[in-house]
Amino acid sequence: MESKRKQKSYNFEFKLTVINTAKEAGNRAAARKYNVDEKRVREWRKQEATLVECTTEARQTGKGKIRKRIPGAGRKRISNILDKAVFHWILDQRGQFLRVSRRSIQEKARELFVTVENNSNANFRASNG
């Protein structure tokens, strides 16, 4: 049976280091040196301005948290109302000392979607996370 590869994530500092090396030696050489795919180097070079901006912003605010994801990236929420309704349901369940599993959260999200969103998006699937 084939084992799954673990998805790697890289922080902004590492990405900028790879970008600087790629500017001097080329994408392929930087990819080999840092053991990343050449496609990642090309993608990071396209995002360089955003990466620099996010890194300097983090340094100026002094929060010190080294981010790995650009703000605004990732899947967008379908509905803030649904999100809040599920969140309040979870708090209510935990307040009653009831176990809240991922599956029960998904089922409740599907149930609430029908009432809250009036079937505006029939392809709704509750995510695992």
CA dihedral 22, 28, 30, 34 (to 10 degrees): 150
**Is the residue at 5 inside a domain?**
no
Dump pLDDT digits (tens) for 105-129.
999 998 888 887 666 666 778 887 6
Residues 101 and 51 in one domain: no
**Is the residue at 119 inside a domain?**
yes
This model's pTM is above 0.75: no
Whose structure tokens read 């301005």? 49
Residues 79 and 121 in one domain: yes
Question: In whole numbers, what is the pLDDT of the chain averaged over residues?
Answer: 85
**Is the residue at 3 inside a domain?**
no
**What is the residue type of 84?**
K
Domain count across the chain: 2
Domain membership of residue 41 as a residue range = 12-61
Residues 122 and 83 in one domain: yes
* pLDDT for res 63: 61
